Structure 1
Amino acid sequence: MGGFTVPRSFLESPRWWRGGGEWLAGLAEAVREQCARWRLTIDGAPAHGSNALVVPVIREGEGFVLRLTPPGPDVAELIAALRFWDGRGTVRLVDADAEAGVMLLERLSATSLNDVPVDEAMHELGVVMDRLAVPAPDHVPDTGTAVARRMATMPQEWERLGRPFDGRILDETLVIGQRLSLAAGDDAVNGDLHAEQVLRGGREPWLVVDPVLMRGDRAFDLGRVLWTRLDEMPRPDDVVRCFDIVVRAAGVEPAHGRDWVLYRAVDYWLWGLGAGLTEDPVRCHRLVSVFRA
């Protein structure tokens, strides 16, 4: 326990160029303290994404993972989301300390839906969308409001970016967004759904990690589901096939799903250009071209 070392790849992540040095400096000690507090024994090499360190641990013969991330509102929201779904389609939360930024989670496989063939991934992502769509709490952000707020900024952003695409695309997107903002529904929705964040489980085949709990329309992140695997869909027919697989598994009416793909693709296209991204705006352009045809 005393020899725990934070991976250099985590310490040198670009995420920390914007701050977080103090938290990183105390991270190894935080792991040791939390293991003592929750009677955990480290059980393997740590892993990480851009923001969180995950340490495999055991307690009384059962395997878990200890997840550590800088404390903040996002941590409390993730804890609330995991408690709400309580293992239904999501990783199960065993214990948490929001102020410390620490969670104890059930242990899942390292295999994600990014590691399986794209058609299979699309089916399973649709199943997950449907699985999560239980009645949502009233107090969480809703997809209709998110759309309405974003629509209010799109025309100015399009102008500021030098009118990067045909204005008719923007006009159509705003019409679609108006429909979507008025008919959001009451389903619980993961507002950050994509293949990399769905891991192979034991008690359920696939489980979401790091969900963002929203209320509204289960099809909210359908565009992201597609654009994050779009490079494996080289032809328009491939994109349409994968779309059909997702909406069928998710229980989404295809015309409604098409609206969400178009709206979110244009939304992310503009955001990506503003953020200086180069690859994702191209993917969003492809999606728009396919579904406007």
Structure 2
Amino acid sequence: MRQLPNKFVQTIKSVHKENGEQWLKRFNKLIEECEERWDIQIMPPFPLSYNFVAPAVQKDGKEVVVKLVIPGEEFNAEVYTIQQFNGRGMVGIIDVDLKKGILILERLTPGKMLASIEDDEAATRIASRVMKALWVPASDTLQIPTSEDREKALLNILIENPEGIGPITKETLQEAAKTFTALNRSIEKPYLLHGDLHHYNILNAGSDSWAAIDPKGLIGDREYDVIQFLLNRLPAENLSALIDKRIALLAEELDLDTHRIYSWGFAHSVLATCWSIEDHGNYDEAFFHSIQYFWDHRRPI
């Protein structure tokens, strides 16, 4: 019997409700099935957040990674996105079972997170190389979410919370929704994006090679895909100076429009804060404070 951390169990129940309860009841059988089906031994997991992720050892001694999730559209989008990136700056898939929410991935070694790099400029340059490898123009046939879906998500939050939510006022919600609409209508060339790219989703794959993991999959502006990176590992003080440096470097390395970065930053930091309040009843202080920062720096689209 494998014991899951209480915090992880509560997260699964909170986010997935009844589906989460049922998944937790079947969890140990799912572990047994994976070990038998792929002839592997699943080791203690990595630190858990929303999904079960653990290293595993094959019969020949080779290490892989097992990811177990609650099946659904989000998981399908993740798998499809990894397949579309086809090894360009992205971890590779060994096998998958969409119906059961099982994903067997290659193990990136040494696997050090980009978050371990103390030099922020060096970390940002590494991230820019991964982004450059990942992004490709999106085809019309891709069955994954778009930035318009995120616009709709924010509009739904506004409808359900007409007076605001948590510290987010109704005026801020309204302005963020307008910003989403203006940005989406002005996208000239949509790209296939990671959708959740930050310091903890970029791992060292040997020597000076780095690769992304855990994509959500998103179609939209390239400028949108840098926002999660900008909002992670922020200091308690001089937040704006660090974000400014990151934006300047990414814009130069990737030929991005800084004004669109600031506008996407405002729209997404509002949405991300709302999601956190809905899921957990609280929010990240740095994300919340960045709303005003992006608001002050953006220009009308």
Corresponding residue of 1:224: 228
Q: Is the 8 A contact 1:236 1:290 kept in 2?
A: no
Shift of 1:83: 1.4
Q: Note the alpha carbon deviations across 1:65-105, whole angstroms, 9 max, x for none.
A: 22222333332222212211122111100111112211111
Find the aligned partners of 1:45 and 1:154 in 2 and give their Cα distance: 38
Corresponding residue of 1:137: 139
Which range moved further: 203-212 or 180-189?
203-212
**Structure 2 residue identity aligned to 1:221:** D
Q: Is the 8 A contact 1:143 1:220 kept in 2?
A: no
After the TM superposition, which residues 206-285 of structure 1 pair with which residues of structure 2 at under 5 Å, given as runs? 206-231=210-235, 234-272=238-276, 276-280=281-285, 282-285=288-291
Find the aligned partners of 1:23 and 1:272 in 2 and give their Cα distance: 22
Q: How has the CA–CA distance of structure 1 residues 235 and 99 changed in structure 2, closer, same or farther, with 3 Å as cutoff?
A: closer
Shift of 1:268: 3.1
Corresponding residue of 1:146: 149
2:112 matches 1:107 = no
2:184 matches 1:188 = no
Q: Note the alpha carbon deviations across 1:124-173, whole angstroms, 9 max, x for none.
A: 22222222111323233454523552564576567422794594x66764
Q: How has the CA–CA distance of structure 1 residues 125 and 9 changed in structure 2, closer, same or farther, with 3 Å as cutoff?
A: same
**Structure 2 residue identity aligned to 1:99:** K
Shift of 1:52: 1.6
Find the aligned partners of 1:88 and 1:8 in 2 and give their Cα distance: 33
Q: Note the alpha carbon deviations across 1:23-47, whole angstroms, 9 max, x for none.
A: 33443333233222223244x4333
> Alpha carbon RMSD of aligned pairs, Å?
3.2
Correspondent of 2:202 among 188, 198, 202: 198
Find the aligned partners of 2:130 and 2:94 in 1 and give their Cα distance: 21
TM-score, normalised with respect to structure 1: 0.81
TM-score, normalised with respect to structure 2: 0.79
Secondary structure of 1:34 counterpart: helix
Find the aligned partners of 2:6 and 2:205 in 1 and give their Cα distance: 25
Shift of 1:202: 3.2
Q: Is the 8 A contact 1:200 1:206 kept in 2?
A: yes
Task: Report how many aligned residue pairs link the two structures.
Answer: 287
Q: How has the CA–CA distance of structure 1 residues 263 and 23 changed in structure 2, closer, same or farther, with 3 Å as cutoff?
A: closer
Q: How has the CA–CA distance of structure 1 residues 158 and 284 changed in structure 2, closer, same or farther, with 3 Å as cutoff?
A: farther
After the TM superposition, which residues 54-73 of structure 1 pair with which residues of structure 2 at under 5 Å, given as runs? 54-73=54-73
Gaps of 5+ in 2: none
2:158 matches 1:161 = no
Q: Is the 8 A contact 1:143 1:214 kept in 2?
A: yes
Gaps of 5+ in 1: none
Corresponding residue of 2:182: 179
